[in-house]
């Protein structure tokens, strides 16, 4: 993978950190002229545009990158909630978007999917178990072929459990592993998300997530078949 253009210059620290940890090579650009000035010989391999701080400058850059003889793609934009209504009017200017504040794993997953779709990546990784299918690249989930409408954290919790079938996790372990060490919510948060997941899985599949009395939760059957 070659160089990714990132707006603005310097980019927000969380954007730079996410790209660095994901292994992307990138260069900050302050606008269309800057993007042309710093463009590598073989062109930009994609762009990440944070549109929440300077929306006018961000969309002007997206427009310039798209109107080229060889449009820059993939192009991921980062927007805040108040900008959602405007996205439909500009859907020709980007390939995908993420809401800010974002979770680094979501940005990384969306970029991986965009590059894979464009031929610069590997096939998406799937987690499958007893009718459940999770696409780790697109954050899509389905049960028995039926799409599941999950929030980001519901998806992350289900993914973590499905990747460790048969293993029992306490609420505290799930808080640490799924929400992260900086999360200060109580263990009640886990119970709420489990209840929502079971409801969305439906009565027929709700028992994929089992309660282990006085301990926590287990996905699927125990490793000893009990």
Residue-level pLDDT at 140: 84
Same domain assignment for residues 85 and 130:
no
Mean pLDDT of 74-78: 95
Residue 145 pLDDT: 83
Q: How are strands ordered across the β-sheet holding 3-7?
A: 25-28, 3-7, 46-50, 75-79, 96-99
Instruction: Please state the rounded mean pLDDT for residues 65-86.
Output: 90
Mean pLDDT of 15-27: 88
What stretch of H or E contains 97? Answer: strand 96-99
Q: Does a structural domain hold residue 226?
A: no
Residues 139 and 113 in one domain: no
Predicted confidence at residue 120, as pLDDT, reads: 53
Among residues 117, 147, 162, the one where a domain terminates is 117
101-117 pLDDT, tens digit each = 988 888 888 888 888 76
Is this structure's pTM higher than 0.75? no
Verify that 204 and 178 share a domain, yes or no: yes
223 versus 35: the higher-pLDDT residue is: 35
- Retrieve residue 71's tokens: 């449009």
Q: Would 146 be classed as within a structural domain?
A: yes
70 shares its domain with 162: no
**β-sheet bridge partners, residue 98:** 78
Structural domain containing residue 154: 126-219
Number of domains in the chain: 2
All residues at 6 or more sequence positions from 165 whose CB lies less than 8 Å from its CB, including other chains: 129, 219, 220, 221
Looking at the structure, tell me whether residues 94 and 148 fall in a common domain: no
Looking at the predicted structure, is the pLDDT value of residue 181 above 80?
Answer: no
């Amino acid at each position: 993978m070659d160089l990714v253009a990132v707006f603005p210059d310097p980019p927000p620290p969380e954007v730079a950190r996410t790209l660095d940890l994901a292994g992307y090579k990138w260069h900050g650009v302050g606008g269309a002229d800057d993007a042309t000035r710093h463009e590598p010989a073989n062109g930009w391999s994609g762009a990440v545009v944070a549109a929440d701080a300077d929306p006018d400058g961000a969309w002007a850059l997206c427009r310039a990158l798209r109107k080229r003889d060889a449009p820059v793609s993939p192009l991921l934009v980062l927007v805040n909630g108040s900008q959602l209504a405007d996205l439909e009017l500009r859907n020709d200017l980007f390939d995908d978007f993420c809401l800010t504040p974002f979770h680094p794993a979501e940005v990384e997953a969306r970029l991986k999917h965009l590059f894979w779709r464009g031929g610069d990546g590997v096939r998406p990784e799937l987690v499958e178990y007893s009718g459940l299918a999770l696409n780790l690249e697109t954050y899509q989930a389905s049960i028995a072929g039926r799409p599941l409408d999950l929030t980001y954290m519901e998806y992350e919790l289900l993914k973590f459990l499905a990747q460790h079938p048969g293993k029992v996790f306490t609420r505290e372990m799930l808080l640490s592993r799924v929400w992260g060490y900086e999360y200060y919510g109580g263990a009640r948060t886990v119970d709420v998300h489990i209840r929502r997941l079971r409801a969305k899985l439906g009565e027929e599949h709700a028992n994929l997530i089992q309660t282990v009395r006085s301990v926590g939760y287990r996905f699927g059957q125990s490793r000893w078949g009990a």
